[in-house]
């Protein structure tokens, strides 16, 4: 697949020069984690959305930010939140089936996909969650099912905790997939991203296709096609997208994490927790711990996949979601 990926001679020559540099090889090792969710919302799939739009939202300390969203189907609303660095592209395998019975809304976080990418420092989990809260209110979504993958699952928890305090009943169900709802063991990634210059230099030097292919190859048990790799890599040609990735990663652990964890038992929504048994990014033990904290949580473990079940086992994910929502 690597030969296919760099079939263009000029690109192959450039990559060869970069890869001879030991410093670049070191940077690349750290970058693997960062790009495991890199996504693009450009040409989502062959299915057609019923509505695509940018929406201006206001949140504390952020002014007005325009987020990009797509909607499919009709029925009770279902909001899908992607992982770190991803976009609407990550849901391409689930949207057609889910939208047969639901109004499916896929949203790009600030800084990712087609959403606005301000060169600011306001990329904490709370900053992202506040914009999602504003989106839900502005779109007048009620009795909502929120689906969150990885970082998006953590944001879904923040959003649900907040709505339960101020607007109970706004969120009806939760579906969390491989979500880092507890602080994870150190991988060197956060330390690397907090270096003053090197992360930006590395992202400038290495072509997004290379880092994306290597990262996805590491975290997924099932391999993606060349077109999918290109789709995941596309937004990181924008400097603003690279800034958003690094800045979000540097702030990825919410402040007062232990206080948040103590509030998990207050989430009384029915919650489906989906995990892959081969996830080395957020181990399945995290899902087991989370379900124990949630009064109405249930855990379903999928075999033969890593960190991105919607890519690796989409049919199994759809079956689990369908069964959960029919009850």
Lowest average pLDDT, out of 126-135, 161-170, 187-196, goes to 187-196
| Rounded-to-integer distance, Cα 275 and Cα 327, Å | 20
Confidence of residue 48 (pLDDT cuts 50, 70, 90): low
Instruction: Quick: pLDDT tens for 226-283.
Output: 888 787 788 888 989 988 988 998 898 899 999 999 999 999 999 999 999 999 889 9
The answer on pLDDT for 188 being more than 60 is: no
Mean pLDDT lowest for which of 69-78, 167-176, 216-225, 287-296?
216-225
| Domain edges within the chain | 37-201+219-225+234-326
Percentage of the residues of the chain whose pLDDT score is greater than 90: 61
**CB neighbourhood size of 190 (10 A):** 15
The 3-class secondary structure across the chain, one letter per residue, is: CHHHHCCCHHHHHHHHHHHCCHHHHHHHHHHHHHHHHCCCCCCCCCCCCCEEEEEEEEECCCEEEEEEEEEECCCCEEEEECCCCCCHHHHCCCHHHHCCCCEEEEECCCCCCCCCCCCCCCCCHHHHHHHHHHHHHHCCCCCEEEEEECHHHHHHHHHHHHHHHHCCCCEEEEEEECCCCCCCCCCCHHHHHCCCCHHHHHHHHCCHHHHHHHHHHHHCCCCCCHHHHHHHHHHHHCHHHHHHHHHHHHCCCCCCHHHHHHCHHHCCCEEEEEEECCCCCCCHHHHHHHHHHCCCEEEEEECCCCCCHHHHCHHHHHHHHHHHHHC
Q: Is the pLDDT of residue 218 over 70?
A: no
First vs last C-alpha separation in the chain? 42
Predicted confidence (pLDDT) per residue in 274-308, tens digit: 999 999 889 999 999 999 999 999 999 999 999 99
Q: What is the pLDDT of residue 70?
A: 97
| Interval 68-126: pLDDT, tens | 999 999 999 999 999 987 889 999 999 999 999 999 999 999 999 999 999 999 999 99
* pLDDT for position 297: 98
Class of domain 37-201+219-225+234-326 as given by CATH: alpha beta
Q: What is the pTM of this model?
A: 0.84
* Mean pLDDT of all residues belonging to the chain: 84
Predicted pLDDT at 235:
82
CB-CB contact of 268 with 160 (8 Å): no
Both tokens assigned to 153: 């699952």
């Amino acid at each position: 697949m690597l030969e296919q990926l760099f079939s263009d001679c000029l690109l192959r020559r450039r990559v060869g020069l970069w890869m001879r540099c030991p410093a670049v090889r070191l940077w690349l090792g750290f970058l693997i984690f960062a790009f495991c969710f890199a996504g693009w919302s450009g040409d989502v799939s062959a299915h057609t959305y019923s509505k695509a739009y940018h929406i201006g939202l206001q949140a504390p300390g952020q002014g007005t930010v325009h987020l990009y969203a797509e909607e499919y189907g009709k029925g009770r609303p279902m909001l899908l939140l992607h992982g770190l660095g991803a976009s609407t592209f990550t849901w391409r395998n689930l949207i057609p089936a889910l939208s047969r019975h639901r109004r499916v809304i896929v949203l790009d976080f600030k800084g990712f996909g087609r959403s606005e990418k301000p060169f600011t420092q306001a990329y904490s989990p709370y900053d992202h969650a506040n914009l999602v809260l504003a989106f839900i209110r502005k779109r007048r979504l009620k009795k909502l099912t929120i689906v969150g993958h990885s970082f998006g699952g953590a944001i879904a928890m923040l959003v649900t905790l907040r709505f339960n305090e101020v607007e109970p009943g706004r969120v009806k169900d939760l579906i969390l997939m491989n979500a880092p709802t507890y602080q994870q063991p150190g991988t060197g990634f956060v330390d690397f991203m907090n270096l003053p210059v090197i992360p930006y230099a590395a992202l400038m030097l290495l072509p997004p296709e290379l880092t994306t292919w290597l990262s996805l190859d590491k975290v997924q048990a099932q391999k993606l096609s060349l077109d999918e790799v290109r789709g995941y890599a596309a937004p990181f040609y924008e400097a603003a997208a690279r800034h958003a990735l690094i800045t979000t990663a540097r702030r990825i652990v919410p402040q007062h994490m232990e206080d948040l964890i103590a509030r998990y038992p207050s989430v009384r929504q029915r919650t489906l927790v989906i995990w892959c048994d081969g996830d080395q990014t957020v181990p399945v033990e995290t899902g087991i711990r989370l379900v124990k904290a949630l009064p109405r949580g249930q855990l379903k473990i999928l075999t033969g996949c890593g960190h991105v079940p919607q890519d690796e086992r989409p049919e199994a994910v759809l079956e689990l979601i369908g069964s959960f929502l029919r009850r």
